[in-house]
Structure formats: structure tokens, C-alpha cells
């Protein structure tokens, strides 16, 4: 079912291998830091809507790879019915794990849509996943999220420049945006995608439903919510906290773009969970961090 | 030996040496827990450490004030993001006073010698105020305290006024004088803009150009300060934002391309914006990778360098003859004043020559291949000695106060453990210490401190090890080093009962 090629590449100091496999007509790319460093489980990263390993995990990938092996999947966007999107993407993650990290527990960490995909992957193949981290995820798309999705779709038709501004407005926390200069705001705005792939992923977002799969997640799970997240509001993360048996919960002071706003805090949370998933028991809300 | 005058704290559970951020922070935590059996020995006549000693014009910290303060004593009254040194000193003095440390402080009590007594398993510290005895010795002696003068032939023959930046002579009038500043580090770049205003001529001797980024300083308005007072959570939120932002800057220190490029761009675009003369710009462009030396923050250094009365000599001070200072490229300058801003003894600490552990071994001898300590706090052959802000704690990207607090947590847990275990002695083995040091060396080898192509005060020139540097995120230090694990320590002996 899959073929793979390996091309050496480098990102900073991380010696990183790039590979790919095929599922049907989809090509799935992944990156592998290779170096085990320690006896810690490898971490598998799954990016969010409109993202990639590079754009969402430019910080997390190399910094986590300093202490443990990291594999990151660049999701391919399936063409079929949008309500099957989450399972089609979960299959990609499962295929990469089976190919690159067979027969060993991995810690699967997803961000945004990647959290939905990771939860689906863990719920449908509990044997592949030893620990699960869901950053800015959600349980089932609600009316508030559909309303935002409607605006996104309408602006894509009518005013792409306004759409980019709207994306920046939704993705980052109000306190962060308030600190930026005009030039920095424009740089953020221009970084957003509005292409067909992005649009297809937004359709998948409309149809997310983890209600059935969440109870099947058996491994220790860490839920990370952004306090100021407009796209996947923290109450959605709390719904995951309620739905997943072995879950613990924490918040970072951030908007949806926590991989940009609080990357070092995410490294802390992911690394600490990977080293000891049961440091806090199921049902725990992590103590507030006061640096 | 001076005779000991009566002192209720002559014989205590914990002797703390040094009343800077580390020693006071520990003292505050002990007091808050209701501990009374501790004494803080301070060689000077006031608390405050570096912030007492550094009074040069323009002195300020290059870490934002909401972060450069205790997490357990936030301050709503900082005047600005980067508050002047005097405010930091006042903050520490108020903390010592209001937290009730007065009765525990002994001034003029320099640690002349500290010695582990093999018979009663306790420490004796000799000071000009007599001897003090303690179960536990805490070296909160810092590493930016003992001034370092450059080895320049003829410096002692200089006929003008000469002083170190941390020993400023405020009695000497500098206005209208011909002044030389030696060094372009964190102190010098704050001093130069101030002296440029008043000097007749100012010469800056630059051995190596520093990277300088915009300071982004600002005043806190009265409304903001009032909010900070009314809602303490707003101070904490700012502190948390600053902490995690600063911690993310470690990615550049670990040479991750995008973040390294961003850090370089922030510095070099600042230089381009502020300095238009290509020749001067070239002189001010560093020749190593950013972050190898401390990245400096200033908006007024480059403008000061371009004043008509200021000359940047892009060469070290090589020798002095009378009133003439010669640079390494042979330029001669007639000077009335030399301000030496060349930093401190960092890698070979004078205090380590005064601490004697098992078998009478000096800490300096134990550290002859570079200083090191298990979790940056404990070292083999020195039972019940704990180091604060010592080896492996310096950061180029975040606040050392955070590191100190993590160490205090480790130390408090160790003291609790001793209380629960009949006062048994805590000592790490060489194996555990060496294993920890090896991991730090391996970590440092991946960072710009080792790989950036410079020599900095984070490095021990005797062996090339980055013995001062914590080569990781600051948060990682808390994760790894704050927890106290009794299994890492040998603990056979017991301290004898106090007299």
C-alpha cells in the first residue's frame, strides 16, 4: 500500500529525514528526527488547518527533537465527503506510525485539526498510541464554530484580503495583537492561506465529530486549551476533557495560534508529559504555572 | 582570630553567605515558613548584591523588571519596563525589611574561610565578626560580584583617575574630561551614552563588537501601575508573557536557522537603521554568531558613538604609559579618566578558594577542571553545601531570578528532608556530579555558546567548558533541577546537635 523515499534535509541543528508514503492516490509526507537521544517514547506531531510541519512546528519539532525522537506528518487533504475527512487523515497518521515507528508506544500530539486527527487515530487504533496530547482541539463542531466557518466561506468569495485579516484576527489572542506594530500585523496577515486546500480543510472542520471515538481513547491524554482561543474555544477542550477517560487538562494564555504565541510553554508541557504521562492523575487540572 | 561577641545566631541551622537576590530570596522563603535558625552573612554594609555595587550612570537591568523580580513578591511600582538599578536595589532593600530579614543579617561579615568539620559534621565560617557555625552552608555569593581588571601593561601607572564600572567614583567630576571606556559589554553600553553627554572627549576601546537589539523600553503609566496594584493578576500575566517569550528565544541559542536569522536581523537591522556611515557600521558589526556573547539592548548606544566628541577605537586597550592609553593598533589617546567596564570574575570564583570540604580540600581545587555541581547546587566532597546562582545557571535568554527560585525550591525540599531524617548529612557522589556535568557539556556543545565562534564570560578559558551556562530552556531548569531527589545524595552522617 505504501512506498517510501528518503531524502536527507536539515532544519537548524536537527538532522532530519524526509520521507513519504502513498495511501490510494494521496502522497503523505513526513519528517523524522531519527536520533533517539534517550529511552523516551518518540513524539508524533500532527499540524492544524492550513498548516504543515514547517509552518506549525518550526519551533516544536527541532526543540523537542533535542531530547527525543520526533516524527511529524504533513497531512494530505482527502477529496471525498468532508465528514470522512477526519478518519481519512487519521489513517495517514496511523500509516506513518506503522511504517516509521512500528511496534512501540508513541506519544501522538495534534494541534487544532491535527488534534481531531490525532484523537481519531488514537481512538480507532489504541494499539498504536501510548500517550495523546490534544492542543486547541475540539469534540464536535458547534454553532459558534459554524458561524465563523460561514464568515470564512463568504469572505473567500467576496474579499480575499478581508479574509486574511479576519484569519489573523481569529487566530491570535487579543493581547498579542494589541502589542504588535502595524508592520508586524501586516506580516501576520499576509502569512495566511486562502487556497483550495485550505477551503477543503475548512469543510472538514465543519463536520468534525469525535463523540463516538473519544470514549474509545484508552491512553493517558493531555488536553491543552488556549484561554483566548476564538476558533476552538477552551470550552471545546473542556468537552474533550469530559469525554476522554484518562485525560488531564491545562490552559495556556494564548489564542488559537499557541504554537506561535507560547511555543516554549508547549515544549514544556509536551516534554514533561512524554517523560511522565501520569505525573498528574486522570481527571486532574494541572497546577497553574507561575514562572 | 577575632573573639566572638555574643550573637544569638552564631550557631544555626543554615548559614547563608551573600545578601543579593539569591541569599535574600532564600531568607524570605525561610522566614515565611517560620524558620528562625539562619543567618545571612554579607561582606558589605547593605543588602543588594550587584544592585548595591553597580551605581554607574545609566545602570539598569537588561531583563524586564516584571520578570527580574521574585515571583513570590511581584512589584506593581516599577517605573518602566527596564527599571533603573537604583529601583532594583530599593526593591531588594524593601523586601529584606518587610519580610523581616533584619535580625538575620550580619554586615561586614565577609566569609574569610568556611570549613567542614569532620567531627561534628557541621560548617564553620570565619568572618571579621567572629565565627559562625551551621549544619548547612549556602554559598549565595554570585558570580558578577568580584571585579575583573584587564591585564594591560602599565595600567597601574595611569596618572589619571581609574575605576571599575562596579566601583564607580561618584566624587570625581567627569564633566569636561577626556575619558576612556574599556569594554563594550552590558555595562559599557549603558555607561557610554551617559558619559558622551558630559565628556570633552570619549574614547571607547572595543575588542569585539557586540550585537545590540532595540531595547523596547517604556514607562509604565500611573493608570497601569494602579491596575497592577488593584489586580495583582495583571502583573503576573505580564510576567508570564515575558517569561515564555524570553524562553522561546532559546531556539536561536540552539542554532535553529529561522530563529537565529530572526535574532540576527533584529540586531543588524537596528545597526543599519541607526548608523549610516558604512565604515563605522563595519566596525560595529560583530564577527561571531549572535548569542555567543550576551545580546545587548540599547537605543542610545549607537547614537552616542556617532557624537562628534566620541571615538570608537575598534581595538583593545593594549598598554598605558602615564596619561597615554595605546590601543592594539597603535593609536594613542591622552586621557584624564579610564573607566574599566570589563566585567567580573566568573569562571574561577574567588569564593571557591575560601570553602574547604572533606579532607580540607578547597572548592577551587575540586573545580580545577572547571566548576560544576549536581543540579547546579551540590558538589562532591562538600557535604551540606548548597550553591545558589553558581555553575550552570547563567542564561542569555531569560531571567536568572527564575533559576534562583528553582534552586531555592530544591534547597527547601532538602532542608525538609533533613528535618524528617534526624538531620542527616546530604552529599552527592563524584559519579552523580560528573554525570550531570557531562550532560551539561553535551548540551552546551549544541548551543551558540560553544559553537558561536567567540570567547565569552560564560566560558572557562582553562578548558573551554561553558561552566557558567545552563544550555537549555529556563523552564527545563525548573523541571530538572527544582525537584529534590534524596536518592541522588549519600546520607550517612548526622550533624551534631547545636551547642
Distance from CA of A255 to the nearest CA of B (A): 13
ipTM of the complex: 0.95
Same domain, B171 and B259: yes
CATH 3.40.50.1820 residue spans of chain A: 5-141+210-275
Q: What angle do CA B76, B82, B87 make, to 5 degrees?
A: 60
Q: Are B438 and B447 in contact (CB under 8 A)?
A: no
Q: How far is A102 from chain B (nearest CA, A)?
A: 29
CB contact under 8 A, B254 and A13: yes
> Do both B114 and B37 map to the same domain?
yes
Q: Is there a contact between A13 and B256 if contact means CB atoms under 8 Å apart?
A: yes
Contact B446 A290 (CB under 8 A): no
- Residue B420 and residue B469 in one domain: yes
Question: pLDDT per residue over B52-101, tens digit each?
Answer: 999 999 999 999 999 999 999 999 999 999 999 999 999 999 999 999 99
Q: What is the CATH number of the domain that holds B193?
A: 3.50.50.60
Q: Which residues of A67-98 are buried (b: 16+ CB within 10 A; e: fewer)?
A: bbbbbbbbbbbbeeebeebbebbbbbbbbbbe
512589584: which residue's cell? B75
In a domain, B137, yes or no: yes
Q: How would you classify residue B294: left for phi > 0, otherwise alpha for psi between -120 and 50, otherwise beta?
A: beta
Question: How many CA atoms, within 13 angstroms, populate the side-chain half-sphere of residue B437?
Answer: 22
Give the pLDDT confidence score for residue B490 in this predicted structure: 86
Nearest-CA residue of chain B relative to A272? B479
Would you list the DSSP string of B17-32?
E--SHHHHHHHHHHHH
Do B113 and B35 share a structural domain? yes
- Asked if residue B281 and residue B159 are part of one domain, the reply reads yes
Beta bridge partner(s), residue B134? B12, B123
Q: How far is CA A197 from CA A111, A193, B440, in A?
A: 18, 9, 44
Inter-chain CB proximity B71 and A11 less than 8 Å? no
The closest CB to that of B240, out of A59, A267, A291, belongs to A291
Chain B residues within 8 A of A267 when measuring between CB atoms: 473, 475
Instruction: For residue A8, count CB atoms less than 10 angstroms from its CB and return exposed for 0-12, middle for 13-18, buried for 19 or more.
Output: exposed
| pLDDT at residue A7, rounded to an integer | 32
Across the interface, whether the CB atoms of B475 and A264 are under 8 A apart is answered yes
User: Residue A130 CB: number of other CB atoms within 10 A?
Assistant: 19
Q: Which residues of chain A have pLDDT under 70?
A: 1-16
Nearest to B148 by CA among B195, B183, B180: B183
Contacts of B254 in chain A (CB under 8 A): 12-13, 62-63, 66
Chain A positions contacting chain B at CB under 8 Å are: 11-14, 58-59, 62-63, 66, 175, 253, 262-265, 267-268, 271-272, 289-291
- The CA-based diameter of chain B, rounded to the nearest angstrom, is 71
How far off is chain B from A50, nearest CA to CA, in Å? 20
B-chain CB neighbours of A264 within 8 Å are 244, 247-248, 250, 473, 475
Answer yes or no: are the C-beta atoms of B298 and B307 closer than 8 Å.
Answer: no
Look up residue B456 and give its DSSP letter. Answer: -
Q: How far apart are CA A136 and CA A112, in angstroms?
A: 5
**In chain B, which residues have their Cβ closer than 8 Å to the Cβ of A253?**
237, 240-241
The answer on B274 and B301 residing in a single domain is yes
Judge whether residue B138 has pLDDT over 50: yes
**Across the interface, do B479 and A62 touch by the CB < 8 Å criterion?**
no
In angstroms, the CA A129 to CA A108 distance is 6
* Domain final residue, candidates B293, B319, B340: B340
**Residue B164 and residue B119 share a domain:** no
Q: Which of B311, B340, B369 finishes a domain?
A: B340
Cell of B416: 525538609
* Nearest CA distance, A33 vs chain B (angstrom): 14
Q: Which domain holds residue B272?
A: 155-210+249-340
C-alpha pair distances (Å), A122 with each of A2, A108, A211: 21, 8, 14
Cα separation, B367 vs B392, in Å, equals: 13
Euclidean distance between the first and the last CA atom of chain A, given in angstroms as a whole number: 49
Average of per-residue pLDDT across B425-454:
96
Nearest residue of A to residue B260 by CA position? A12
Question: Can you read off the three cell numbers belonging to residue B165?
Answer: 564600572
| Grid coordinates given for B329 | 593598533
Check residues B469 and B499 and name the one with the higher pLDDT. Answer: B469
Q: Collect all residues of chain A within an 8 Å Cβ-Cβ radius of residue B482.
A: none
Between the alpha carbon of residue A217 and those of residues A43, A54, B187, B201, B357, the distances in Å are 17, 28, 56, 73, 55
**Is B66 a domain residue?**
no
Confidence band, pLDDT 50/70/90 cuts, at residue B456: confident
Q: A63, B247: Cβ pair inside 8 Å?
A: no
Q: Give how far A253 is from chain B: nearest CA, Å.
A: 8
Q: Is the dihedral of CA A157, A158, A159, A162 positive or negative?
A: negative
Q: What is the pLDDT of residue A2?
A: 32
Structural domain includes residue B221: no
Q: Mean pLDDT for chain B?
A: 96
Looking at B300, B318, B340, which one is the last position of a domain? B340
Confidence grade of residue B493 (pLDDT, cut at 50, 70, 90) = confident
Give B474's contacts in chain A (Cβ within 8 Å). Answer: 291
The CATH number of the structural domain formed by A5-141+210-275 is 3.40.50.1820
List phi, psi (to 5°) of B479.
-60, -40
The C-alpha of B255 sits at a distance from chain A's nearest C-alpha, in angstroms, of 6
Q: Which residues from chain B sit within 8 angstroms of residue A59, using beta carbons?
A: 248, 251, 256, 259
Q: Which three cell numbers stand for residue B486?
A: 534524596
Cβ–Cβ below 8 Å for B258 and A12: yes
Of the candidates B159, B153, B150, the residue with the CA atom closest to the CA atom of residue B178: B159
B472-483: per-residue pLDDT in tens? 999 999 999 999
Q: Which three cell numbers stand for residue B256?
A: 535553529
Chain A residue nearest residue B240, CA to CA: A291
Residues of A in contact with B250 (CB under 8 A): 63, 264
pLDDT tens track for B287-309: 999 999 999 999 999 999 999 99
- Shortest alpha-carbon distance between residue B216 and chain A (Å): 11
Name which of B236, B244, B251 is nearest A262 (Cβ-Cβ): B244
Question: Which among A12, A38, A183, A291 is the top mutation candidate for probing chain B, defined by the most B β-carbons within 10 Å of its own β-carbon?
Answer: A291
| φ, ψ dihedrals at A59, nearest 5° | -95, -55
B50-64, B299-313, B367-381, B480-494, range with the lowest pLDDT: B480-494
Contact list, A271 vs chain B (CB under 8 Å): 476, 479
* pLDDT at position B3: 54
Check if the beta carbon of residue B239 is closer than 8 Å to that of residue B232. Answer: no
Q: How far is CA A179 from CA A184, A185, B82, B439, in A?
A: 10, 10, 17, 38
User: Does B384 share its domain with B302?
Assistant: no
Pairing mode, if any, of strands B296-297 and B212-213?
Answer: parallel
Cβ of B251 within 8 Å of Cβ of A290? The answer is: no
Number of CB pairs < 8 Å for A and B? 70
**Using a CB-CB distance cutoff of 8 angstroms, which residues of chain B are in contact with residue A62?**
251, 254, 256
Q: How far apart are CA A286 and CA A270, in angstroms?
A: 13
Residues in chain B closer than 8 A to A66 (CB atoms): 254, 446
Query: How many domains, in total, are found in chain B?
Result: 2
Tell me the C-alpha to C-alpha distance, in Å, between residue A212 and each of A82, A120, A208, A209, B265.
Answer: 17, 10, 11, 8, 49
Amino acid at each position: 500500500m505504501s512506498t517510501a523515499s528518503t531524502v536527507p534535509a536539515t532544519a537548524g541543528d536537527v538532522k532530519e529525514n524526509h520521507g513519504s508514503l502513498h495511501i490510494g492516490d494521496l502522497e503523505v509526507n513526513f519528517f523524522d528526527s531519527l536520533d533517539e537521544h534517550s529511552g523516551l517514547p518518540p513524539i508524533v506531531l500532527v499540524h492544524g488547518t492550513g498548516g504543515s510541519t514547517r509552518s506549525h512546528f518550526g519551533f516544536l519539532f527541532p526543540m523537542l527533537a533535542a531530547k527525543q525522537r520526533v516524527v511529524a506528518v504533513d497531512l494530505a487533504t482527502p477529496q471525498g465527503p468532508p465528514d470522512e475527512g477526519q478518519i481519512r487523515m487519521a489513517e495517514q497518521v496511523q500509516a506513518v506510525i506503522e511504517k516509521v515507528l512500528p511496534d512501540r508506544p508513541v506519544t501522538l500530539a495534534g494541534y487544532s485539526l491535527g488534534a481531531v486527527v490525532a484523537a481519531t487515530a488514537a481512538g480507532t487504533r489504541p494499539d498504536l498510541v501510548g500517550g495523546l496530547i490534544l492542543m486547541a482541539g475540539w469534540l464536535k463542531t458547534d454553532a459558534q464554530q459554524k458561524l465563523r466557518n460561514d464568515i470564512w466561506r463568504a469572505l473567500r468569495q467576496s474579499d480575499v484580503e478581508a479574509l486574511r485579516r479576519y484569519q489573523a484576527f481569529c487566530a491570535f489572542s487579543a493581547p498579542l495583537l494589541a502589542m504588535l506594530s502595524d508592520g508586524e500585523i501586516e506580516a501576520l496577515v499576509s502569512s495566511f492561506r486562502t487556497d483550495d486546500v485550505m477551503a477543503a480543510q475548512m469543510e472538514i472542520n465543519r463536520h468534525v465529530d469525535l463523540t463516538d471515538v473519544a470514549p474509545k481513547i484508552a491512553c493517558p491524554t493531555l488536553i491543552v486549551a488556549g484561554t483566548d482561543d476564538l476558533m476552538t474555544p477552551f470550552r471545546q477542550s473542556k468537552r474533550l476533557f469530559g469525554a476522554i477517560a484518562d485525560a488531564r487538562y491545562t490552559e495556556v494564555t494564548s489564542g488559537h495560534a499557541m504554537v506561535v504565541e507560547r511555543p516554549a510553554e508547549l515544549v514544556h508541557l509536551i516534554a514533561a508529559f512524554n517523560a511522565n504521562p501520569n505525573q498528574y492523575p486522570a481527571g486532574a487540572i494541572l497546577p497553574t504555572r507561575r514562572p | 582570630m577575632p573573639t566572638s561577641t555574643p550573637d544569638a545566631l552564631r550557631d544555626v541551622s543554615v548559614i547563608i553567605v551573600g545578601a543579593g537576590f539569591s541569599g535574600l530570596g532564600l531568607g524570605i522563603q525561610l522566614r515565611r515558613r517560620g524558620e528562625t535558625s539562619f543567618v545571612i552573612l554579607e561582606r558589605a554594609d547593605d543588602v543588594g548584591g550587584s544592585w548595591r555595587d553597580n551605581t554607574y550612570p545609566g545602570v539598569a537591568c537588561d531583563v524586564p523588571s516584571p520578570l527580574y523580580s521574585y515571583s513570590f513578591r511581584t512589584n506593581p511600582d516599577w517605573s518602566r519596563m527596564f527599571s533603573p538599578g537604583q529601583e532594583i536595589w530599593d526593591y531588594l532593600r524593601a523586601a529584606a525589611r518587610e519580610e523581616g530579614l533584619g535580625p538575620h543579617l550580619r554586615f561586614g561579615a565577609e566569609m574569610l574561610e568556611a570549613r567542614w568539620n569532620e567531627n561534628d559534621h557541621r560548617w564553620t565560617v570565619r568572618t571579621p565578626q567572629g565565627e559562625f557555625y551551621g549544619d548547612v552552608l549556602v554559598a549565595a555569593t554570585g558570580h558578577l560580584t568580584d571585579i575583573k581588571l584587564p591585564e594591560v601593561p602599565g595600567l597601574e601607572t595611569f596618572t589619571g583617575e581609574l575605576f571599575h564600572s562596579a566601583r564607580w567614583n561618584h566624587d570625581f567630576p567627569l564633566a569636561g574630561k577626556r575619558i576612556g571606556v574599556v569594554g563594550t559589554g552590558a555595562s559599557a553600553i549603558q555607561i557610554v551614552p551617559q558619559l558622551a553627554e558630559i565628556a570633552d572627549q570619549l574614547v571607547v576601546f572595543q575588542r569585539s563588537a557586540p550585537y545590540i537589539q532595540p531595547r523596547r523600553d517604556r514607562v509604565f503609566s500611573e493608570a497601569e501601575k494602579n491596575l497592577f496594584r488593584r489586580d495583582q493578576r495583571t502583573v503576573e500575566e505580564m510576567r508570564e508573557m515575558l517569561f515564555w517569550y524570553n524562553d522561546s528565544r532559546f531556539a536561536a541559542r540552539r542554532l535553529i536557522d529561522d530563529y537565529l536569522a530572526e535574532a540576527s536581523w533584529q540586531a543588524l537591522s537596528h545597526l543599519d537603521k541607526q548608523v549610516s556611515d558604512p565604515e563605522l557600521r563595519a566596525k560595529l558589526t560583530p564577527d561571531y554568531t549572535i548569542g555567543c556573547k550576551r545580546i545587548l539592548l540599547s537605543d542610545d548606544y549607537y547614537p552616542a558613538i556617532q557624537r562628534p566628541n566620541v571615538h570608537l577605537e575598534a581595538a583593545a586597550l593594549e598598554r598605558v604609559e602615564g596619561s597615554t592609553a595605546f590601543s592594539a593598533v597603535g593609536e594613542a589617546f591622552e586621557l584624564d579618566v579610564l573607566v574599566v567596564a570589563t566585567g567580573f570574575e566568573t569562571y574561577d570564583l574567588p569564593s571557591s578558594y575560601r570553602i574547604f570540604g572533606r579532607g580540607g580540600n578547597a572548592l577551587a581545587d575540586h573545580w580545577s577542571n572547571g566548576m560544576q555541581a549536581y543540579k547546579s547546587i551540590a558538589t562532591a566532597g562538600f557535604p551540606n553545601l548548597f550553591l545558589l546562582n553558581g555553575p550552570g545557571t547563567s542564561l542569555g535568554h531569560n531571567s536568572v531570578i527564575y533559576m534562583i527560585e528553582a534552586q531555592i525550591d530544591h534547597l527547601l525540599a532538602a532542608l525538609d528532608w533533613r528535618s524528617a531524617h534526624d538531620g542527616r548529612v546530604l552529599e552527592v557522589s563524584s559519579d552523580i556530579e560528573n554525570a550531570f556535568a557531562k550532560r551539561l557539556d553535551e548540551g552546551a556543545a549544541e548551543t551558540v555558546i560553544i559553537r558561536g565562534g567567540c570567547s565569552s564570560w560564560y566560558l572557562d578559558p582553562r578548558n573551554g567548558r561553558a561552566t557558567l551556562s545552563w544550555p537549555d530552556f529556563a523552564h527545563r531548569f525548573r523541571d530538572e533541577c527544582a525537584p529534590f531527589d534524596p536518592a541522588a545524595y549519600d546520607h550517612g552522617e548526622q550533624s551534631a546537635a547545636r551547642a
